Structure 1
Amino acid sequence: MKHITPRELKTKRLRLRNSDLNVQFLYSHSMICIETQHFHLNRILLLAIGLWPYPISKFVRLQIILFSGILTSFVIFQFTAFITTKCTVDFIIKVFSTAIIFNFYVIIYNMFWINTHHVRNLLKQLQCICNELKDENELAIIKKYGYNTRRCTAIITLLAICSILFAILIPIWPQIFGTVLHINQSRIQNQAIQITTEYFIDQEKYIFLIFLHTNAVLCIGGTTMTATGTMILGCFIHACGMFHIASYRIEQAMSTKMLKNINLKNQTMINKKIFYAVEIHRKAMKFIDMLISSFEGSFLLLIMFCVISLSLNIFAVFYNASLGNKEALLLHLSFVFAIYLYMFLTNYIGQEVTNYSNNVYSTAYNVRWYMAPLHTQKMILFILQKGSITFDVNIAGLFVMSLQCFATLTKASMSYFTFMYSTQQ
């Protein structure tokens, strides 16, 4: 056995260390970390409300119970108003128009809390798909859609912050004007309370505690809708990226350069690329099906509440406009805007998924598949057969997320509003 001197041993260790560093450098430049690179802002938002699916400590469990309790209690205190107040049609509409909005927060918060393991599995599956990408152009494609996810999240977060501040400042406006114009304080407090609640206490005496509870609900609920909505939106955007990669692989496999010289080596390469295109197309569809099935019941409930709440809040807008109640009018207008935006974004991304899936079919149809080897033609035929049936984001077989669905839901909401408004004439 050859004797190794201490100097040689030291040199060998340095070489091994340098090689390890090179491997780490190459790994860091070729691999994508979904959580820290593409869902960084989503992670911060979900951590703020205790819904990030990774390590759930005792503090996070306490945070979840506290936030869920705050959101649920506010909905309960709105419905308790029926105990102390005479139930008229106008009063019922007034309570339900706001109570259903805040019930959104409860449903969405608990939806993510219960399905934490599903969110974790979705992120793991997405990370595995990204780890399998080796081609520089494919990595560039998925990074582009990661950038789109970050950009959409940032824009929606900014809109949410502005909306929350607007909703918080609405009750304070009368107090500001009261200080300047010397308006009676009791009148200010009555104008300031636009959301009907019953705490079974002297509301004028504990007005600031009630405001604190209301503002806490607005902040927690607004963050919940933003964090969970952008998280699901980001998953759909990455699914569009997978469909884009599938189209890219088909184009590369059936390029003119490949088809000009079909030898054994090129034939093997074409078959391999088509196989990978079929594989990522299948994974994209499976990923979307997994996403929808994880939240299917909650999505159905949210769709139903969206239609009802939109009808009630449009009615409240017209009702308060006729009474000249500007603070309540602005509050209900902000609710209408938020519901419309939520419905539009949800259906728009569903339409985009369908379009990207159809684009894979179009790409496979338009390439020179007839010049490819017989085995490759059979694989492309498989894509064409799958593409002949439109891939839709289908919720329980009742709703297909698309712009047509958005128009249908809006039409249904306007129909219910028209019915309510006609009965009040």
Structure 2
Amino acid sequence: MICIDCLHMNLNRMLLLAVGLWPYQQSKLVQFQLILFFTILITCIIFQFTTFATSKCTSSLLINVFSSALFYIYFLILYSWFHINMEVVKCSLEQLQNMYNELTDKNEITIIKKYGNYGKRYTAGLILTVVFFAPSLGLYLHWPYLVNRLLPINDFRSRSSLFVTEYFIDQEKYSYLILFHTLTALFIGIITIIATGTLFIVYAHYGCGMFRITKIVCSYRIEQVMAIDTLQKKSILRNKNLIYKKLIRAVDMHREAMRFSESFVSKFKVMFSCLIAIAVASASLNLFRISQALSFGNNVDELLFPLITVGIYIAYILIANIMTQKIMDYNNNVFDTAYNIQWYAVSLNVQKMILFLLQRGTKVFSLNIAGLFVGSLEGAAKLLSTMMSFFTVLYSTRV
């Protein structure tokens, strides 16, 4: 088991519990919750594609359906993949707890707690964003129904749905239930994105914390060794051996930090590859819908869903790549620290230990997804550029 308070993951646990993805406490009620949420997401996708059964297939209809359906498929892949790999999430949490338990120095514990708090703040900020966003969206979409209840009017036009759907029922009569279904699926997906995304953010910050500890330990302990080597007193050999052990621990910690950062990404590389492809395609289609709505002067309702979709994709891409870039920068800082100190002035034993850090630092450390994409700010720029390229192609070939 893990200590939630020690790892500052109370908010993450709450979010994962809300969508039934917390790897512990998997009761029958949680299993029912999973089935219910799966059903809501899958039916929301199906009722978008059933539009082709009752409407003429045109390029405009294809773009409208796929731009929204891919968004919900994105949610479904993320939700199902985490559910299938729940044991992987559990093992990662326990690995993180073991790394935390192995810290004995008060300064090191303080550092790791500070980075745990950083992850908690990110989580809290994203939760507050959704808490503000969700009621606003719900109120806007349900406003016609509220106004019609208070001030009934003859010419009442409801908002039947956020996007094109076909439920094979009277769309006008059951518009409220249709809107409720699509909104429920949307909020399930958004909570899933935040719950899983903030878990990655917390992992990334703990990885940065481990790299930070390695950097501080290396610089401080080597300075101590240099001072001891200068004194050359037998009475301090015991302290020297203790410092050697600390340096060995720093090398092991650096190795664990890299292994921890790589392991979680590598086990979800197929999921990330699918999500990247869907995000690029869906965002491009929704950008095209936005351009079409602005060109023809459509009302705000036509812009609402595409804007939400593109905003979520861009935010997810930027935050994910900023976190991976941060891990790479912290690892590079460890290499720079080990290289810039006067390692050549210390004893041969210490040089051998530092050599492990220098040799690993000569290789580029990156979080690679199936050899196709490297998480970094450059990777984020490439994804956004690819989105705009696809959008430009669609816009140039519009009828």
Q: Shorter-chain TM-score: which interval?
A: over 0.9
> Which of 1 and 2 has greater Rg?
1
Instruction: Give the structure 1 partner of residue 313 of structure 2.
Output: 339
Whether the 8 Å contact between 1:315 and 1:421 is mirrored in structure 2 is yes
**Cα distance in 2 for residues equivalent to 1:260 and 1:164:** 64
Q: Give 2:161's aligned residue.
A: 193
The within-5 A match list for 1:192-341 is 192-256=160-224, 257-263=227-233, 264-323=237-296, 324-341=298-315
CA distance in 2, matches of 1:386, 1:106: 38
Residue identity in the other structure for 1:131: N
Verify the 8 A CA contact 1:164 1:222 in the aligned structure 2: no
CA distance in 1, matches of 2:146, 2:228: 73
Task: State the Cα distance separating 1:414 from its structure 2 match.
Answer: 0.4
The residue identity in structure 2 corresponding to 1:234 is: V
Deviations 1:228-284 (A, max 9, x none): 110111111111111111111102211254454355334323321211111011101
Distance in 2, Cα, partners of 1:318 & 1:52:
40
Aligned partner letter, 2:217: R
In structure 1, distance between residues paired with 2:202 and 2:174: 42
Distance in 2 between the 1:345 and 1:149 partners? 12
2-side partners of 1:132 and 1:365: how far apart?
Answer: 26
Aligned to 1:20: none
Deviation larger for 106-115 or 208-217: 208-217
Q: Is the 8 A contact 2:162 2:182 kept in 1?
A: no
Counterpart-to-counterpart distance in 1, 2:137 and 2:65:
17
**1:390 paired to 2:364:** yes
**Do the aligned partners of 2:161 and 2:178 also contact (CA within 8 Å) in 1?**
no
| 3-state SS in 1 of match to 2:366 | coil
Q: Is it true that 1:113 corresponds to 2:86 in the alignment?
A: no
Task: Report how many aligned residue pairs link the two structures.
Answer: 391
Change (3 A) 1:389 1:77: same
> 2:161 and 2:134 mapped to 1: Cα distance?
16
Matches within 5 A, 1:8-407: 33-34=3-4, 37-175=7-145, 182=153, 184-185=155-156, 188-189=157-158, 191-256=159-224, 257-263=227-233, 264-323=237-296, 324-407=298-381
Distance 1:180 1:362, change over 3 A: farther
* Structure 1 residues without counterparts, runs of 5 or longer: 1-31
- Tell me, in whole angstroms, the C-alpha distance in 1 between the residues paired with 2:142 and 2:151: 13
Using the alignment, how far apart are the partners of 2:146 and 2:343 within structure 1?
71
- Paired letter, 2:379: C
CA contact (8 A) 1:50 1:61 kept: yes
Query: Which secondary structure state, in structure 2, belongs to the residue aligned with residue 254 of structure 1?
Result: helix
TM-score, with length taken from structure 1: 0.88
- Distance (whole Å) between structure 2 residues aligned to residue 247 and residue 183 of structure 1: 71
Residues 174, 192 of structure 1: 8 Å contact kept = no
Change (3 A) 1:387 1:262: farther
Q: CA deviation at 1:379?
A: 1.1
Displacement, 1:34?
4.3
The answer to whether the Cα contact below 8 Å between 1:258 and 1:270 also exists between their aligned partners in 2 is: no
Q: CA deviation at 1:287?
A: 0.8
Equivalent AA in structure 2 for residue 245 of structure 1: I
CA distance in 2, matches of 1:225, 1:175: 29
How far the C-alpha of 1:136 sits from its partner, in A, is 0.6
RMSD of aligned Cα (Å): 1.9
- Matched AA of 2:85: N
Ranges in structure 2 where 5+ consecutive residues have no aligned partner: none
